[in-house]
């Protein structure tokens, strides 16, 4: 049960982070000189931003709590503050968690501030940069970083996450645009066409960086692609991305 809760928390905070990054980039890519950022679909999208932002630190807190239970073997440890302090201060996992949580709180504060200022392209660009920070910090806790904590080990995974945010994270914004009945079909087509021009090379880079990360993890033992759960997960992602990339 603890493993299920931990996995759910990881996915919730990751998807929320990707959605924030991708949505901001989608608004930047599809923006034009005539746009005033007053469309209904944009307002609906921005209403999701605070909820997405707050779910990231909450997810990280759940991850930390489940880690403590897994390490100590008892849920009673959650009531002992010294256990929390020991994990945060004396382990690399805890120190990386502090970086991730700090980046998530910074993102939340930025989102709350920008929701109260006038809409502008720079605002979405700034938000996208800040939204990338928790992903970069999260790459320090990746499988690749577990073997060697270095720039060459972490950078491919960090780029993989950011690129995934550019494509997958932009889907909520694209869906809201498509469902907006007040927006003309021509405007929708032009916006989606602009995004598609970026989406194709992004998907190719996602596949490339994913293969680089997988190669560093498996280190030549490619039988692990079918012998481990992570290998099956990676194979499934490539299987799904390839036909989408050819459409």
Residue 108 DSSP one-character state:
H
- Where helices occur in 171-228 by DSSP H, the ranges are 171-179, 185-218, 224-227
Tokens of 130: 């800040």
Which mean pLDDT values do the consecutive 10-residue runs of the chain (247 residues) have? 87 95 91 60 89 96 91 81 85 89 96 84 92 91 59 81 90 86 71 82 85 70 56 57 49
Q: Is the separation of the CB atoms in 4 and 36 below 8 Å?
A: no
Q: In this structure, are residues 110 and 50 in contact, taking their beta carbons and an 8 Å threshold?
A: no
Distances (CA, A) of 8 to 3, 63, 71, 160, 218: 8, 9, 18, 21, 25
- CA separation for the pair 210, 225 (Å, rounded): 13
Q: What is the token pair recorded at 73?
A: 């073997």
**Cβ pair 171, 44 in contact under 8 A:** no
Buried b (16+ CB within 10 A) or exposed e, 164-185: bbbbbbbebbbebbeebeebee
3-state secondary structure of 208: helix
Listing DSSP states for 40-81 in one string gives HHHHHHHHHHHHHHHHHHHHHHHHHHHHHHHHHS-GGGGG-H
Q: What is the pLDDT of residue 3?
A: 83
30 CB neighbour count, 10 Å cutoff: 22
pTM: 0.84
Predicted confidence at residue 145, as pLDDT, reads 47
Q: Which of 166, 169, 176 is nearest to 42 (CA)?
A: 176
Q: How far is the C-alpha of 245 from the C-alpha of 142, rounded, in Å?
A: 26
According to the model, what pLDDT value does residue 43 have? 85
Tokens of 80: 């002992």
The Cα 221–Cα 202 span in angstroms is 28
**What's the pLDDT at 204?**
85
Ramachandran angles phi, psi of 80, nearest 5°:
-105, 110
Using only the alpha carbons of the chain, give its radius of gyration: 20
Give residue limits of the domains in the chain: 2-246
pLDDT of residue 156: 84
Instruction: Give the angle 172-178-182 at the CA atoms, nearest 5°.
Output: 120
Instruction: Look up residue 168 and give its DSSP letter.
Output: G
């Amino acid at each position: 049960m603890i493993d299920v809760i931990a996995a759910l928390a990881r996915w919730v905070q990751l998807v929320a982070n990707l959605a924030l990054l991708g949505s901001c980039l989608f608004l930047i890519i599809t923006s034009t000189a005539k746009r005033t950022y007053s469309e209904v679909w944009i307002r609906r999208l921005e209403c999701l931003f605070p909820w997405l932002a707050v779910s990231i630190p909450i997810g990280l807190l759940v991850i930390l709590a489940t880690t403590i239970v897994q390490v100590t073997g008892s849920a009673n440890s959650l009531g002992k503050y010294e256990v929390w302090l020991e994990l945060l201060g004396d382990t690399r996992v805890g120190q990386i968690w502090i970086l991730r949580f700090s980046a998530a709180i910074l993102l939340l504060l930025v989102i709350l501030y920008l929701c109260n200022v006038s809409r502008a392209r720079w605002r979405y660009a700034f938000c996208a940069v800040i939204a990338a920070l928790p992903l970069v910090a999260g790459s320090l806790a990746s499988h690749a970083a577990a073997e060697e904590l270095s720039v060459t080990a972490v950078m491919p995974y960090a780029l993989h996450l950011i690129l995934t945010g550019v494509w997958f994270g932009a889907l909520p914004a694209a869906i809201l645009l498509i469902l907006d009945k007040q927006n003309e079909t021509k405007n929708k087509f032009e916006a989606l066409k602009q995004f598609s021009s970026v989406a194709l090379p992004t998907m190719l880079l996602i596949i490339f960086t994913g293969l680089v990360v997988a190669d560093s993890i498996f280190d030549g033992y490619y039988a692990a692609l079918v012998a481990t759960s992570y290998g099956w997960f990676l194979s499934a992602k490539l299987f799904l991305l390839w036909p989408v990339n050819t459409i």
